[in-house]
Every structure is written in structure tokens, then in C-alpha cells.
Amino acid sequence: MSDPISGEAPWDERAHAKDPRSGELAADFEFARENDFTLRLKFRSPLVSNHDASNSGEEESAGEDENAGEVSNRGVKQPARILGVYGASGAGKSTLLHLWAGLLRPRTGCLRFGSRVFFFSDGPQRAMNLSPAARRVGYIFQDTRVFPHLSVGRNVLYGAPDRSARRSVEFMESPALSLERVRSALGLEEIWNRSGSELSGGQQKRVAIARALLSQPELLLCDEAAANLDARSGQAFREIMRDLPAGTRAIYVSHDLAEIARLTEELLVLDRGALLYHGSPAGLPAVGPVRDMFFRAGEAPPLLIRSDQMRISGASQGFRISDRYRGSGSGNEVFVIPAASLHLASRASEDLSGFPDRWPARFIEFVEVGGESKSRLARVAIFEEGGPECLVPLGNAAEDRPAWQAGEALICLISTMRGLA
């Protein structure tokens, strides 16, 4: 059978490790539940950015995603070992993970990881569905699913493969996934012999993470994996994720854009079963369908800005930005700043000497959302016209309705960052 997504000839499974696309995630499917929820997705990961494609002479991937003309992809640097997935509750994030794990089955379409087809069906008469055990997938569930009758140690080692296996040898040679590092980094040594029924929620999450990692998966599925972790454990987990062995991919689902930006340069945004955006977190648009998704949740989109954009503007000097909003990338940090933390002022309107954390901005337009009680926001470009855009909430009082004109110079204040190291 040829590759159902690209149409190319089938690959030799024995050549999987040598295949240059052995880490590619490819999906083109439709899934439907009885409650009328439908998930339709088509994507290939990692993306090749327009810049990379033009330099390499390869065909751009931007035209390969055919999701209703609203999908865009911007600035992804290859390779992206971790694919982030963001969306509101009910968007289809956990469903997507279940489909990759084999716990749910699409109606039609294809799921492929590297040279291995997990699922393919073009109708009721022709279908193949690889069993969950054969997919070599590790899964960190939201609800941890720790065995209460087993010790922490037996929970962690449950499902760990024979060390003589080829995949096991590759993992044991990786210091990131050694039993010693995982157990120490996640603070499991002191509770190693404790029963699973005696653990707190945070301890259960650490056990579930260690168990999934040490099962030595080729594809790691993470559903709100950092939830319930304290700061130390969260940082240790992120460091382990950044050090995943070569050839291992991960799909990381989270409600926290800052958490996703800390781990990956490639993002899927889902909304009510559809793909709105595929690209770099820093390229997430503040307008169009993405904006509407945030508005339905009662908030404005956050400002996502790269550190290189700050350096170009010369505006980062003297800024003290909280680690809460700090992401990471290949040489560029991505700062994810909630819209509620942003405020605007006219340059000549007041004394701003008490606000060291501020950026120049250019006003674009006013935006109103809501029903009878409308909320007003200002759409601005940070630093200069053509710079990163964001929507800044304004109050509904008369004094909160300034008469700014398009192109007017403003100052953007970042209130929650003042005084933070």
C-alpha cells in the first residue's frame, strides 16, 4: 500500500531508523462521536518554514495543509521534536491524543508516524488499525491512572521493555531517560517503596510521567502533563522533555500557552474540532478565527513576542520579565503575556517614570466584542507599524474611551512584570 497521505511508494519497515522522515507525524482524518462532535484534521509535522524552504530549495509545506483557508503556518524551525496542541475545553485536544494512542478510531483517513501507518481507511471495505501495543506510544494522562495496589517503583517500571531490546539499548544510552536521572529529577527516590494509594495528586503525576518516559516510547503523548507539579518538578520535567532521545517525538497538550512556548517551536491550535493555526507560537495571530476563539472564552488573545524582536527594537533594556511568561526556543525565547497584564497610555498624557516595564506601540483600531454589554479593546502594533500585534482591554467608563487615531504613538505598559526578577 502506498503512503495514504503523500501517495508515495511504501517504505521498508527495516529502514525506519534511516528514513529521513522517520520522525514525521502525518494526519488526515475525520472522527465523529455520537454527541455530534466531529474532529477533522490534516497536518504534517514538523513544518518547514518559508525561510527554511527557500534556503533549501525544497517545496514549501504551507500549501499542504488544506484546512479551510483560515489555517496559517509561520516561522517553524525544523526539526521540532515536540508538537504543542492548544485549545479551549472541548476543542478536541484529548481526542487527538486518544486517536494517536489507538484508544479511539477515526471514521476515515490516515494517521502515520514516520514509516509506520497507525490507521488507514478509505471506506468500510478497506481499513487497517494498528493495535495500541504495537504503536510504541507512551501516554501521560490528565488523571494519572496510577495503580493503587502497586508501589511507586513497580508503577514506574510497569511496561518498561526488556533492556536487551534494540529500542531499550538506544534509550539506556541516553542520559536524559536513564532510570537514575528520571527518578532523581522527579523526586521519586524518597517515595519509591510507598503504595500508589498513599500518594498526593502531585506525586501521582510525577509517577505517571516517569512511567511513560521509562516505557521508552517512540511517540510520547502528554495531556496536561505539567498540571499539579510544583515549580521544581515542573522545571525538571521540562528539562527531560528537551533532552528526549533522537528519533523520539512528543505531542504536548496544554491549556497554558506559556507552558507550550517553553517546550516547542511548533503549535497546533484547535477549536471545536477544527485546526485554526499551525506554526510557531510566536506567530500566533491576534486577529481572525484565533481572536474569536479567545473572545468566546471571555478573554483577549495574549501577546506572544520573541526575544529577537525585542532586541531589534532596543526595547528590552531594563526589562525584568517573570519566568511565568518566559518560554524557550532555539536561541530565541518566546514571552507569553496575558492581555489582562497590558495597559496603554498616550506618550504625552501622564508621567510614566514609575513604570520601567513599557514598550512603544502604534494604535491600529478599536475592537468591540460582546452583546448588550460590549467590551472595548485596542488593537496595537508593539514597537512600530508592522511589529507584533496584540489586543489590549479598555475599561467601559468614559475616561477609558480615548480618541486615538490610526498610527498614533502610544506606550504599552506591562503591569504584572514590574519588579519581577
What is the structure's pLDDT at 282? 82
Written as nine digits, the cell of 322 is 517573570
- Asked, for residue 369, whether it belongs to a domain, the answer is yes
| Contacting residues for 67 by C-beta, under 8 A, at least 6 apart | 40, 41, 42, 43, 274, 275, 278
- Asked, for residue 230, whether it belongs to a domain, the answer is yes
- Asked, for residue 142, whether it belongs to a domain, the answer is yes
| Contacting residues for 152 by C-beta, under 8 A, at least 6 apart | 188, 191, 192, 193, 194, 195, 196, 199, 203, 207
Q: d(Cα 326, Cα 306) in Å, to the nearest integer?
A: 10
Residues 197 and 127 in one domain: yes
Residues 222 and 76 in one domain: yes
Residues 310 and 268 in one domain: no
Angle at 22 between CA 20 and CA 26, to 5 degrees: 115
What is the structure's pLDDT at 325? 56
Residues 38 and 141 in one domain: yes
What range does the domain containing 209 cover? Answer: 13-276
In whole angstroms, how far apart are CA 241 and each of 100, 209, 234, 245?
A: 19, 11, 11, 9
169: domain CATH number is: 3.40.50.300
What is the structure's pLDDT at 414? 80
Q: Are 111 and 118 in contact (CB under 8 A)?
A: yes
Q: What is the mean pLDDT of each run of 10 residues along the chain (421 residues)?
A: 48 42 85 88 76 35 38 49 92 96 95 94 83 94 91 90 52 66 91 94 93 92 91 90 86 91 90 93 85 86 78 48 53 77 77 69 87 79 80 73 87 60 26
- Asked, for residue 74, whether it belongs to a domain, the answer is yes
Residue 290 corresponds to which amino acid? V
DSSP one-letter code for 326? B
User: Model pTM?
Assistant: 0.81
Tally of domains in the chain: 2
How many other C-beta atoms lie within 10 A of the C-beta of residue 205? 27
Residues 313 and 257 in one domain: no
Written as nine digits, the cell of 55 is 534556503
CA dihedral (200, 202, 205, 207) positive or negative: negative
What is the structure's pLDDT at 398? 54
